[in-house]
Structure formats: structure tokens, C-alpha cells
Structure 1
Amino acid sequence: MTAVEEENKQEAGGWLRRHAIDIRPLKHPAYRRIFVGNAVSFFGVQFTAVAVPVQVYAITKSALWVGVSSFVGLVPLIVFSIWGGAIADAYDRRKVLVVSSTLMWLTTLGLLAQAVLHLDNAWLMLALIAAQSAAFGINSPVRQAIIPALVSGEEVAAANTLGFTVSNVAAIGGPVGAGVVIAAFDFSAAYAVDAVLFTVVLWAALRLPALPPTGSSNRAGVRDVRDGLRFLAGHRLILLTFAIDIAAMVLAMPKALFPVVADQHFGASSLGWLYSSIAIGAVLAGVSSGWIGRVRRQGIALVLAVVGWGLAVAAAGAVPWLWACVAFMAVAGAADMISGVYRQTVLLSAPDAMRGRLQGVFFAVVAGGPRLGDLRAGSVADVTSASFSWVSGGIAAAVVAVILGLTFPVLLRYTDTTH
């Protein structure tokens, strides 16, 4: 190898280290097992995520019912996310993860049973969705809170990015697979895939070491929840990151419209692509995320990312071609991933003793916003049209993001102090 070739090789290696995703956390066996378990289960969960709204629409033929099916899980999701964060700060996190994962698995078996028996009862589905949301609300903050115990301190951010990226990889393949399975068989096959694959994360959770809380006298009671909310109320920057995410999701999340658009415009085979589109962009942004951490004016970057999300969503709803719709939604997904990284960076500036409770609130916002967005999108579509609901929501999200940035300069002034 010549000197020039060696230099070019070193330059290429340096470029990859600066821009490619950091995989160092995978060297830790406990983290690696939970990473694999999450990756497999995330793939299976997507089958249920697609099957539920499509089955509800098949039963009711109403976009509003699709929105309601997403909204009905909002209250238990918010309540149990916040409480789940307090539990994560008070009890052995391995036990809490095992119990909450088992409850999620049982609700999936319930969805499977109603599909196998062809009950076609939308109210029963709403009850199962609410129960699954409650279990999910406890599970997610705990799953995030255990990460620092499985990797070194300097690898926590990389572990979070790995988890976020693999979940979006699953969100690409899962919906495509779900669309194929539902078209070839029926809804029960999709629920069965989820139930089988979810056993992997149960195995991974059981293999974790004991993870008792350190230096905490919390009992996951009302006082502990109140302490977490009081801490949050005193931090305007964190509250603003929550507010801008809620605006983006409530106003511009179009997922409730996917079954309608597929039925009326693109055909049943488009469902998988529509449900995968956001994740496609998020994965592309994730695997090339090395540059994101080098941005110093992260407040401005966060606002611009949310504006980009809204405008890309609006463009996706305006185009008449499936490939263009998917492409614009992928751009939106990339923007959402970037904003998510910066919002998580702000959250990580909080003390460790509050991590579980703040992660609980964070998850309530991240998961609850899209459910409210589904209700908004479905209700507006029922009185106007799917296209109007889709496009107007994206434009509104971009406008609100600009207003928040201009009204609260502390958000635009936020900088990464490590630079």
C-alpha cells in the first residue's frame, strides 16, 4: 500500500468515526442482551401497531374511530408513565421491567384472542388498548432508566442513540411485514407475530442483574411524583422542549389518516410503506448522527428541526404519488429524530435522582402527543377531508414552532456547553 493510499484509508476511517453511529455500548453483555431483546420486540410491536388501527377501521369504517382508538390509551399512558418513572426511582428496576413487560405481553395475547374468535368488537379493542398503554407507560421509563447501570457514563448518550435507531429500524421492517401478513392472512397473524417475538425481551429482562435504586428513599407515592413535577416546573427550558414536541405531534402527526389514505388513494399494499416512512428518515439520520453532537446552537437547531418536520409533513399530504409521500415523510422522520436528540440532551442535564421521574414525563409527552395528534387528525378528516387534515396540521406545527422560538428566547439561546 502506497503512502497516499494509507493516508486516504486513515482519512476515510476518521470520517466514519466522526459521522457514523457509536456502537461501543454493545461490548457490555447485559446491555447487548437487552438491546437485542428490544430490537426483536420492537419489530414485533410494529405488527400490533399497524393491525390495531387497520382492524378498527375495518370494523367501523371511520377515521374518527381510528383516532379514538389511539386517544383512548392516552390517560392510562400519561398516568402510568409518570407513576412508572417514580417506580423506576424507588424499586429494583429489573423486577419492574419483567412485570411490566409481562403485562404488555398478556394484552397482546388478548388482542390475538379477539381476532382469532372474530369478535369484531371495537369497544373490546379499546379496553385492551387502554390496558396495554398502562403497562407500556410503566415499562418505557424503567427501560430508559436502567441504561446508565449497564454501560459506562460516557456511553449513555451512545446507548440512547443506538436504542432509538434500532427502534426506527424495526419501525421500517415491522409495518412492511405487517402489511404483507395482514393482506395474506388476517389480523390474528399480525398479533401472533408480536406475541412470539415479545418473548425475546422477556428473556433479556430475566437475564439482567438486580438493579436496586441507589441513594433513594422514594416509595413511588404521590409525594415522590409531586417532587418530580415540582422539579420540572422550575426548569423552563425542559418545559419548552416538551411544549414544542407536543405541538409537533398533536398538530402534525398523520398516522390516523394512513388507513383512510390507503383505502381511498394508494391501495392496501401502501400501508406498510406509509407506516414505515417516518422511521426510514429517522434511521438514515441515526446512522449518520455523528455530526449532530457537534452543533453548538442546539436550541436553534431544535426549532429548525421541528419547523422542518411540519413542512415536510404538509408536503407529504399534498402530493398525489405514494413514492413522494413516503419520501417527504422520511424527511419529516429525520427532522424528528434530530429534534429528539436535542430534547434528550436537555433532559440529561437533570440530576440522576430525578432521572426516572423525568423520563416518565418525557415518555408521556413523546407517546401521548401522537395519540392526541391521531384524534385531531381523525376528527378533522371526518368533517373535511384526509388531505386537508394532513396538510393543515403540518403547516400549523411549523408556525407554532416559530412562535414558541420567538416568544421564549431561552429556547433559541440554548447552547451545548461541552463545546
Structure 2
Amino acid sequence: MRILLDTRPLRESPAFRRLWAGSALSAVGGQMTTFAVALQVYTLTRSSAAVGAVGLAMAVPAIVVGLLGGPLIDAVDRRRLVLAASGALAAVSALFAVQAFADLRQLWPLYLLVAVQSMLNSVNMPARRTFVPRLLAPSSLPAGAALGMLTMHGAVTVGPVLAGAVAAGWGLRACYLIDALSFAAALYGVFRLPPMPPEGGAARPGLRAVGEGLRFIRGHRVIAGAFLADMSATVLGMPFALFPAINAEHFGGRAVTLGLLTAAPAVGGVLGSALSGPVSHVTRQGRAILVAGAVWGVGLAGFGLSRSLWLALALLVLAGTADVISVVFRTAVVQAATPDRYRGRVSAAEYVVGVGCPQLGNFRAGAVGSLTTPAISAVGGGLATVLGAVLVGLAIPAFRRQQADPASRPAT
């Protein structure tokens, strides 16, 4: 059985290979802009609250437009939609560079550009996800999801480091320019795709279509279970808001230590992606999601109890590894179970959950940490996550017993 990352999708589908490579380069550019915006806002204001407002400017448009954009994705040629959205995102990155060159000293242009960028991404990202089931065989969907997670976590790890070096040498404007140029790779990967109209009839954009998509998710027990498992893990367990306080109380409060704590889950994500070879051979994917979610919770609870920096980092790496394995299986389950005519709306709902629930989880962690202690919040959140995984499995037996189609499994 393969242990390392399964790269079959890159060999079997040239279209997927181009799409993946373009997305990888663009993701690094996107992380550079995220870094640059936060640093620029802090440089202008010296306020952590102002930096936190960047997240609000991103989350609110993503949630609103994400839900409304799902029916649009199911109504038009998705290839043309992604080309238009990616081109507009490149223009937004160029405008970030323009305001940096102009040395504007106001916050509202940054917040406005972040909001527009978020609105475009809330259509672009879900629409891109609908391509994968059309380009890969069902047996390759878990491997394709693992490659996507490697891209995401790799960009989160590499992008800020690269942005820091570029900003130190050439300024924030260079970070924005690199992001704008990186969209050329993303556009090329999509441009070479064939037309991608929705199969099985196009949806009519509007609130009725949104409701149809939500009813489909609620009525499909396996997909509903996958969503609930993810929501439980993020809302109950997400610990990032606690890192500064735990770092100050238990690990000396140095900036470098905080950086290590912040990077550790992403390192676990890269590790989990790199060692994801066996995922294509797992048939009990619903159970795997629940087990991985419980391991994520155990890692977070252990982190809250730890007073050793290296043990804390190791537990966060474990949690990050479990998280990426859970996401890989959830993505594969949802992609395989969703008819093409609903894929835009289901992908949009996934995007909204992925953006909104971690923010709610961090708010919960911070609020509980303020009422008790940061360590109690981390431990309690981790244990609640384990309990949540158990309850989802008990409440939705069809999800717990879900199995991949044996005919779609790869040969060993």
C-alpha cells in the first residue's frame, strides 16, 4: 500500500495537473497578499483590532455571497465563470499594488478591496471545486483532495515566509504585484479546460435555488453528516485565538514562539498531505472523518494541558495532521455523493462553512478563555470536539456506516 502522497491524479489527467499547478502558484500569491494587508493595516494603526477587522471584512461578504453564488455556479458554464472571477481577482490584486505605490494612509481602501476580493473568491473557489469530479475518476477523488490540501497548507506555510522576505527587500507593493502576476498560472490552468456547463439541467439563480441546495444537503444523510462533523470540529475546537495568551502565560511570550505555535498546525497539514497515500484505499470514509475529528480534539486538549513547548508543538502538528485527513475524506465523500446539478450550491455551502465556522470557533475560544483561562478553553474545546464526533456518529448512523463504492477503489 502506498504511504506517501498519491500523485496518480497528476499523471492520469493533464487537465487536473494544469489546474492544480496553477492553483498552487496562485495560492502562494494569495497568502502573500494576506500577509501584506495585515502588516499594512498594523503599520498604519498599530491596532490589533484594526487587523482583526480585516477578518470581518472577509468573512461577512464570503458568507452572504457564498450562499447566493451557489445557484449561479449551477446555472452557467463554470469554466467561463472561473475565468471571469480569476481575472477580476487579478485586477483586485493590482489595485492593492496601486494603493501601496500611492502610499495611501487610509484604511477604507484596504477594507473595501478585501471585501471585494472575498466576494469574488466566494464564487471562484466553489466553482473551481466542481471541476475535480469531472476531471478525475471516483477512485482518484481522495488523492485529488489530498493534493488540494497540500497546496493549501503549503501556501500557508511558504507564502508568509516569502512575503516577509519580499516585503523586507522590496516593500509590500512587491507582494501585491507578485500575487497579481500569479493569477496568470491560475488562468492558464482554467483556460485549457473544456466547457463545463452543469449536467442534469441548469439551476435558476435566486433564493429558491439556494433553498433547494440546502434541502438537498439536509436530506442526504451522508453529506449532512460530513458537514456536521466539520462544523463540530471547527466551532467547538478551533484554538488559534488562544495562541497569544497561552504563549504569554506558559511559553515566555516571545514572538518567535508564537510564530512556531501558529505554524505547527499547518506543518501538520503538510505532513498529513504528504503521507496521505493510504486514503484512496479506505472504504469507511465516514468513520475515518469521525476518528480524525476526534484525534484533532485530543491533540487540542493535550495542547491546552502542556507546559512543554516542544510537546505543545508536537500535539498541534498531530492536530493539524488529523484535520487535513478529515478534510480529505470529507471532500471526497461530498464530491462523490453530490450530483453535478447541485455541485455549485454544495461547494458554496462548503466554502461558507470553511470560512465562517473557524471564525465562530475562534470567537468561542476567546470568549471562554476570557471567562475562565486560555488553557481551560483549549482543553474544554478539544474534549467537546471529541464528544461532538461521537454524537454525530450516533445521531447519523448512515454517515458512520458510509462506504466508498468498492468498484471505484484503485487497484493494489
2:5–2:143 Cα contact (<8 Å) kept:
no
CA separation of 1:230/1:327 partners in 2, compared to 1, >3 Å: closer, same or farther?
Answer: same
Partner of residue 240 from structure 1, selected from 200, 225, 238: 225
2:384 matched residue in structure 1: 396
1:177 positional shift: 2.3
1:369 matched residue in structure 2: 357
Partner of residue 337 from structure 1, selected from 317, 324, 343: 324
**Mapped pair 1:141 → 2:132:** no
2:76–2:202 Cα contact (<8 Å) kept:
no
CA separation of 1:121/1:391 partners in 2, compared to 1, >3 Å: closer, same or farther?
Answer: farther
1:235-260 deviations in Å (ceiling 9; x for gaps): 23322321221222223323445677
1:81–1:361 Cα contact (<8 Å) kept:
yes
1:204-255 deviations in Å (ceiling 9; x for gaps): 3333333233442323333332222221221233223212212222233234
1:46 matched residue in structure 2: 31
Partner of residue 202 from structure 1, selected from 174, 180, 187: 187
Q: Which amino acid aligns with 1:340?
A: V
1:62 positional shift: 5.5
Partners of 1:59 and 1:384 in 2: CA distance:
33
Partners of 1:344 and 1:267 in 2: CA distance:
37
2:343 matched residue in structure 1: 355
Structure 2 residue matching 1:219: 3-state secondary structure? coil
1:281 positional shift: 1.6
Farther off after superposition, 89-98 or 225-234: 225-234
1:211 matched residue in structure 2: 196
1:84 positional shift: 3.1
Partner of residue 289 from structure 1, selected from 276, 280, 290: 276
2:27–2:155 Cα contact (<8 Å) kept:
yes
Pairwise mapping of residues 118-129 of structure 1 onto structure 2 (< 5 A)? Answer: 118-119=103-104, 121-129=106-114
1:97–1:143 Cα contact (<8 Å) kept:
yes
Partners of 1:59 and 1:42 in 2: CA distance:
26
Partners of 2:171 and 2:366 in 1: CA distance:
24
2:87–2:183 Cα contact (<8 Å) kept:
no
1:68–1:375 Cα contact (<8 Å) kept:
no
2:42–2:48 Cα contact (<8 Å) kept:
yes
Partners of 1:98 and 1:282 in 2: CA distance:
29
1:64–1:375 Cα contact (<8 Å) kept:
no
Structure 2 residue matching 1:73: 3-state secondary structure? helix
Q: How large is the RMSD of aligned CA atoms in angstroms?
A: 3.3
1:70-98 deviations in Å (ceiling 9; x for gaps): 23322321232233332222211121111
Structure 1 residue matching 2:226: 3-state secondary structure? helix
2:15 matched residue in structure 1: 30
Partners of 1:296 and 1:152 in 2: CA distance:
15
Farther off after superposition, 216-225 or 331-340: 216-225
Q: Which amino acid aligns with 2:16?
A: Y
CA separation of 1:398/1:275 partners in 2, compared to 1, >3 Å: closer, same or farther?
Answer: same
Pairwise mapping of residues 2-151 of structure 1 onto structure 2 (< 5 A)? Answer: 15-16=1-2, 20-57=5-42, 65-119=50-104, 121-151=106-136
Identical aligned residues as a percent: 37
Question: With structure 2 as the length reference, what TM-score do the two structures score?
Answer: 0.83
CA separation of 1:393/1:106 partners in 2, compared to 1, >3 Å: closer, same or farther?
Answer: farther
1:284 positional shift: 1.9
1:167 matched residue in structure 2: 152
Pairwise mapping of residues 215-234 of structure 1 onto structure 2 (< 5 A)? Answer: 215-234=200-219
1:70–1:374 Cα contact (<8 Å) kept:
no
CA separation of 1:190/1:32 partners in 2, compared to 1, >3 Å: closer, same or farther?
Answer: same
1:202 positional shift: 2.4
Partner of residue 300 from structure 1, selected from 283, 287, 310: 287
Unaligned residue ranges in structure 1 (runs of 5+): 1-14
Partners of 1:367 and 1:71 in 2: CA distance:
11
Partners of 2:101 and 2:376 in 1: CA distance:
36
Unaligned residue ranges in structure 2 (runs of 5+): none
Question: With structure 1 as the length reference, what TM-score do the two structures score?
Answer: 0.82
Structure 1 residue matching 2:337: 3-state secondary structure? coil
CA separation of 1:29/1:408 partners in 2, compared to 1, >3 Å: closer, same or farther?
Answer: closer
1:21–1:286 Cα contact (<8 Å) kept:
no
CA separation of 1:307/1:154 partners in 2, compared to 1, >3 Å: closer, same or farther?
Answer: closer
Partners of 2:395 and 2:57 in 1: CA distance:
33
Pairwise mapping of residues 274-285 of structure 1 onto structure 2 (< 5 A)? Answer: 274-285=261-272
1:359 positional shift: 1.4
2:143–2:280 Cα contact (<8 Å) kept:
no
